[in-house]
Amino acid sequence: MEARDLVAALKRLQPVDSLATDLLNVREQAKKCGLLIFPAAPENPKNEVHIGPEDMDWPDFVDYAVRLQAGLLYVDATIFHAEEALAETEEEGSAVRKALARFEGFTDTLSLMFVHGGAWHHWSTLAGFAQLLARAADEAEFGYGGETKLAPDEADRITAELLSDPEFRAARSFAAMHRVLQARHPRIAERDWPGSPVRIVVMDAVRSVFRDRRDHEQRLRQQLPALAEELATSNQFLATASDAMRKEVAGDFLTGKADGHPMPTALRNELAVLAYRASRRNS
């Protein structure tokens, strides 16, 4: 991006500190949901899954933290200072510097993190002016703006490849799906970075998995009495000798009924109890 193009793009932006408002709203929602807030983010955490606003908005991310019972939400934000952001070679009083002066003191980055299943789930976003600066820096370093679009048939191929993978469908969280992606689909994983068109396709596949999982859960919950009767006649279930074994068999039974999707622990436990009672009645 040429300097004149960057200046023109910056001038088109309204000087509104929207991320500062988002930061206040994040804190308010987290408090309402019972999440504790730690006002910083760890540096270079291991086993990290990074998603951005193109994948989900921050309210959805906070909602996932609540649903996964994370308990603690790490919240970090940085303030923009033009003198620090511009390269030392930038001429004093340049057009870029003047265009950026309108955003002095604004929040330029908002980052949210929580831990679940041993993995760090990381959501972050940049203010509009910071996105323009990052894009200009990337193009200056790499000489191009990166992959911007996928052919429809390639997007369909990636989606089909992921959704046909039983391990991808069986993963319980974003972190687990990300590990499957890296281990089993390296050609997709190497192009999966925040903001990339491949990331958009991957996240569409993730959402599809979770939608299917919810549909299966609702269907199986309605069929629970009949499923319990069926499970109660299973030789594998009848051979169990403890609650833990019955729950394990019930979980596998539900997964088989849900096209490989793992079902919630509470549903599995309820089925195990109902099936055990049914087996006692039938004995």
DSSP string, 108-140: EEEEEEEEETTEEEEEEEE-HHHHHHHHHHHHH
Give the global pTM: 0.53
Tokens of 251: 């979980």
CB count in 10 Å sphere of residue 143: 7
Q: What is the pLDDT along the chain (283 residues), one digit of tens a residue?
A: 566 676 777 777 777 788 889 999 999 999 998 999 988 777 666 677 777 777 788 988 998 888 888 889 999 888 887 766 554 334 444 777 777 778 888 888 888 999 887 788 888 888 888 777 766 655 544 333 445 567 778 888 999 999 999 999 988 777 778 888 888 998 888 887 655 788 778 888 888 888 888 899 999 999 999 999 999 999 999 999 999 999 999 999 999 999 999 888 889 999 999 999 999 998 7
DSSP collapsed to 3 states, 153-180 = HHHHHHHHHHHCCHHHHHCCCHHHHHHH
